Amino acid sequence: MLTQLRQDNPLIICITNDVVKNFTANGLLALGASPAMATEQREMDEFLAHAGALLINIGSIEVGDVDNMLAAAQYANQHRVPVVLDPVACGASKFRKDFCLKLLHEHEIAVIRGNASELQALVGEASMKGTDADTSLSTEAVAQAAYEQFKCAIVVTGAIDAICVDGKVNLIENGTPLLTKVTGGGCLLGAVVASFIYNETKPTLEVLTEAVTTYTVASELAEKSPNGTLPGHFAVHLIDQLYLIQESDVAKNRLVKEV
């Protein structure tokens, strides 16, 4: 899939938070996708007519963003463009949670990608301090519960990442804690997932597993680069590794368990 992605260079519309736009765009360019940080609903129909996927990340959502995001999801559904929702800190405020639930209720979402606390908040109750995740939660259990409620593909990140599609779960043990030490470590993954599922409104477990392992193996290679254990250097090396990584690197290093 990585080779095909690089050949096709899909257009990925990213409605994402202000803090991570540059990092996300550079990460997708390095990977081989074509990012567009378009947000204005008056042009969204035209953009999405040519897009491979849409990312909706609510990290810096304001009241004025709500209509743009809902309109984007509507146009994406009309054009059969897959939508990835990143419900950033949705357990930290009622405003965020209510918006995510409205989006999920009214529109077709292909993938929800978030940490365990974010997904737990969507399916029930979870307290959050900003974007921090509760490390005591089981990503596997949360992924299964979220799938049962929303009936779309779920990607839950943590020390062990869990992906649930059609009730089947893969657990991924790749990655590094340094992803939590740079702004946008999780947000970029949401965009990478969108890149891998371009034109697929019903993504498979295999494709989502490749997306996550490509990113997490790249993060491990970044950590091993010179000064890669320092957050600033790591962030730069991660972009480099997304550019350099090959399918053979992922196959050699991936740690995936089928549940």
Q: Where are the domains of the chain?
A: 2-258
Q: Distance between CA atoms of 19 and 33, rounded to whole angstroms?
A: 20
Q: Distance between CA atoms of 44 and 21, rounded to whole angstroms?
A: 18
> What pLDDT does residue 10 have?
97
CA distances from 215 to 30, 160, 254 (A): 12, 14, 10
* pLDDT at residue 165 tops 70: yes
* pLDDT at residue 131 tops 70: no
Q: What is the mean pLDDT of residues 125-145?
A: 74
> What pLDDT does residue 129 have?
52
Q: Distance between CA atoms of 93 and 105, rounded to whole angstroms?
A: 19
Q: What is the mean pLDDT of residues 84-112?
A: 95
> What pLDDT does residue 64 have?
87
Percent of residues, the chain, with pLDDT higher than 90: 89
> What pLDDT does residue 132 have?
57
* pLDDT at residue 66 tops 90: yes
> What pLDDT does residue 137 have?
87
* pLDDT at residue 130 tops 70: no
Give the model confidence (pLDDT) of 20-56 as tens digits. 999 999 999 999 999 999 888 899 999 999 999 999 9
Q: Distance between CA atoms of 219 and 213, rounded to whole angstroms?
A: 9
DSSP structure class, residue 67: H
Q: What is the mean pLDDT of residues 76-82?
A: 97
| CATH number of the 2-258 domain | 3.40.1190.20
Side-chain-facing half-sphere of 85: CA atoms under 13 Å: 31
The 3-state DSSP class for residue 203 equals coil
* pLDDT at residue 73 tops 70: yes
Contact between 199 and 52 (Cβ < 8 Å): yes
DSSP structure class, residue 134: -
Taken as a whole, the chain contains a residue count of 259
> What pLDDT does residue 136 have?
79
Q: What is the mean pLDDT of residues 62-72?
A: 93
Mean model confidence pLDDT for the chain: 94
Give the model confidence (pLDDT) of 84-96 as tens digits. 999 999 988 999 9
